[in-house]
């Protein structure tokens, strides 16, 4: 007579054991079983730097997790291992970036590093990577490109993270990538890339100075690069030193095949009425761009838009499955959709 109850209990226990740490609890302040641990100062069996923890992982197909205790870690981090890798930052609220207690920070310009990618505070060159509740900063500031994040790979997800820089904050350059409930801050071309298909969902995108938010640069008409910012908020950063009303653009075309769409997003008064701008007077790069909008709200959603942009009648072609592929729900954490 107790068999149905026992079966139900078994199913419930199995579900709990397979749920991710994010799904199981709103707070994550201790490492899950089997995780490599970063803490400064480190105790026995722990690592004091994130790079040391990454270097300790085998370069094989095994799935590995790194848990980081609260702190500011001043280092440049590179991740290239083959197997699925997850980084978890300690937080009292996994559902947002607002309670993040882990920060990776570094100051390096692309001019000094030799190229954009090499300047990244966090450099991810791998498939099957996820990061939760970690802030990443490049503190170089004005004067050169200086990346917080350089991201190359398929099935990459950033959840509840914060990315802070000035010029070229986030480089999403190859593969299918997802940014869910993140904060991205910068001034000039601070979301950019050339070959990636990227979906930004429920992000806060904040400008610290006048400039364009996105700069997509596919290298040919056949390049399928596409950035879609959906159900997000575009606003002036609290770090801005001047009034930005009308001084920020949704994007400019790094090449003439740039493809960017803002959909169902609240655009603050910082967005210029034209919405989009040319790359430069000498090189407008507008011949074959796709700069599109649908369902946006807020003061910045109104105005006479640039002639090379368009308003969509629906989000067809710009939904998550269109951007990331029909299997996107198999690798994107649905808690951040």
For the annotated catalytic residues, the residue numbers are 189
- 230 has which bridge partners? 201, 263
Phi then psi dihedrals of residue 13, to 5 deg = -65, -40
- For residues 300 and 256, what is the distance between their CA atoms, to the nearest angstrom? 24
Element holding 67 (H helix, E strand): strand 64-68
Element holding 266 (H helix, E strand): strand 266-267
Cα–Cα distances in angstroms (integers) from residue 166 to residues 145, 154, 209, in the given order = 8, 26, 8
CB 286 within 8 A of CB 256: yes
CB 212 within 8 A of CB 191: no
Q: In what order do the strands lie in the sheet with 149-152?
A: 77-79, 122-125, 149-152, 170-174, 191-193, 211-216, 248-251
Long-range pairs for 239-247 at CB < 8 Å and ≥24 separation?
A: 239/185, 239/208, 240/207, 240/208, 240/209, 241/208, 241/209, 242/209, 244/207, 244/209, 244/210, 244/270, 245/269, 245/270, 246/270, 246/271, 246/272, 246/273, 247/210, 247/272
């Amino acid at each position: 007579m107790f068999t149905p109850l026992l079966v139900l209990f078994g199913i419930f226990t199995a579900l709990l054991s397979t749920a991710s740490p994010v799904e199981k609890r709103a707070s994550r302040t201790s490492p899950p079983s089997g995780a490599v641990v970063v803490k400064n100062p480190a105790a026995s069996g722990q690592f004091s730097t994130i790079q040391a923890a990454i270097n300790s992982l085998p370069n094989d197909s095994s799935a590995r997790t790194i848990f980081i205790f609260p702190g500011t870690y001043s280092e440049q981090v590179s991740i290239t291992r083959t197997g699925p890798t997850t980084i978890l930052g300690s937080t009292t609220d996994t559902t947002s970036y607002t309670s993040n207690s882990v920060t990776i920070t570094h100051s390096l310009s692309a001019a000094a590093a030799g190229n954009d990618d090499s300047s990244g505070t966090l450099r991810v060159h791998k498939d099957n990577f996820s990061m939760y509740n970690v802030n990443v900063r490049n503190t170089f500031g004005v004067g050169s490109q200086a990346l917080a994040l350089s991201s190359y790979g398929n099935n990459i997800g950033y959840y509840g993270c914060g990315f802070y820089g000035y010029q070229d904050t986030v480089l999403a350059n190859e593969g299918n990538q997802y940014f869910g409930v993140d904060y991205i801050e910068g001034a000039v071309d601070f979301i950019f890339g050339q070959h990636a298909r990227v979906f930004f969902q429920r992000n806060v995108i904040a400008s610290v100075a006048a400039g364009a938010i996105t700069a997509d640069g596919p290298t040919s008409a056949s390049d399928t690069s596409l950035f879609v910012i959906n159900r997000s908020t575009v606003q002036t950063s609290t770090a801005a030193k001047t009034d930005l009303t009308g001084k920020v653009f949704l994007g400019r075309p790094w090449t003439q095949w740039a493809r960017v769409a803002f959909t169902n997003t609240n655009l603050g008064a910082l967005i210029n009425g034209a919405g989009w701008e040319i790359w430069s007077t000498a090189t407008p790069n507008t011949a074959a761009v796709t700069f599109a909008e649908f369902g946006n709200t807020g003061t910045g959603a109104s105005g006479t838009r640039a002639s090379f942009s368009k308003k969509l009648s629906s989000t067809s072609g710009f939904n998550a499955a269109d951007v990331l592929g029909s299997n996107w729900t198999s690798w994107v954490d649905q808690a951040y959709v």
